[in-house]
Amino acid sequence: MARQRVAVLISGGGSNLQALIDHAAGSHYEIVLTLSNEPTAFGLERARRDGIATRTVCHRDFADRPSFEHEIDECLREARPDLICLAGFMRILTPAFVGRWRDRLLNIHPALLPAFRGLHTHERALAAGVRVHGCTVHLVRPELDDGPVVTQGVVPVLAGDDAQALAARVLEVEHRCYPLAVDGLAAGALRVRDGLVVGDAQRLVLHPSLVGH
């Protein structure tokens, strides 16, 4: 079976993009495009190093959100992705865009949804005193950080954690969750049914420090 074509949308460092690149060999997906809204995003460099096509669509060059998204759509239509991964893409997408790519558009959020939607998730997790935190790969729906869960990664919150330490621990499981989710969907081992993602592929990642507890 041909590998599924994946486009990755970024705005910054692209460590999740790197994880997707690193796991592509031997998987059911290939990355055919990396698109950034920030011309200086380091993730573009990561893609180039791997020989992946890159495009920059800078939101500041467009009068409004629909025209910015129209240009992104053009790039995506050329690249013909089966799946589109938002990986630290820091622009809110309109319901029209989300609807056009429904069930093919994925996001990774640094919290265990539906807890802590939005920004500053690690600070808010610490302020709430939760004992576990993590990340969620989900299908994108028009509401911010909403949609069927594909994979979640769980980390402990440890005494003495600050937001930076917690973020670094969450990022470790992010880098395992995103390739797992994309490969599961690309292989057909995960499917959308009645508004939920179902299937046999592993959908929970535990931080190594939780294993054996």
Instruction: Enumerate the active-site residues.
Output: 109
The residue among 70 and 123 lying less far from ligand GRF, judged by its C-beta, is 123
In whole angstroms, the minimum distance from the beta carbon of 78 to ligand GRF comes to 24
Nearest-10 crossing angle of helices 163-187, 121-128? 120
Question: How many beta carbons lie within 10 A of that of residue 2, not counting itself?
Answer: 7
Find the largest Cα–Cα distance for the chain: 54
The nearer residue to ligand GRF, 28 or 109, going by C-beta atoms, is 109
Contact 122, 170 (CB under 8 A): yes
Which positions from 123 to 142 touch ligand GRF by CB under 6 A, shown as an x/- string? ------------x-------
70 vs 132, beta carbon nearer ligand GRF: 132
Amino acid at 138: H
Q: How many CA atoms lie within 13 A of 16 on its CB side?
A: 31
User: Residue 130, CB half-sphere, CA atoms under 13 Å: how many?
Assistant: 19
Q: Please say which residue, 19 or 186, places its beta carbon nearer to ligand GRF.
A: 19
Q: Is 147 in the site for ligand GRF (CB under 6 A)?
A: no
CB of 22 to ligand GRF, least distance (A): 12
Number of residues that bind ligand GRF (CB under 6 A): 13
Q: Give me Rg for the CA atoms of the chain.
A: 17
Helix (H, G, I), strand (E, B) or coil at 193: strand
CB of 107 closer than 8 Å to CB of 138:
yes
Q: Which is nearer to ligand GRF, 11 or 94 (CB)?
A: 11
Q: Which residues contact 1 (CB under 8 A, 6 or more apart)?
A: 28
Q: Considering the rule CB under 6 A, would residue 16 count as an interface residue with ligand GRF?
A: yes
> Using CB under 6 A, which of 12, 147, 153, 184 touches ligand GRF?
12
All residues at 6 or more sequence positions from 47 whose CB lies less than 8 Å from its CB, including other chains: 8, 14, 17, 21, 31, 34, 53, 54
Interaction of residue 34 with ligand GRF, rule CB under 6 A:
no
Task: Give me the 77-106 binding string for ligand GRF, x by CB under 6 A, dash otherwise.
Answer: ----------xx------------------
Q: Which of 57, 83, 98, 108 binds ligand GRF (CB under 6 A)?
A: 108
Which residues make up the interface to ligand GRF (CB under 6 A)? 12-16, 87-88, 108-110, 135, 171, 174
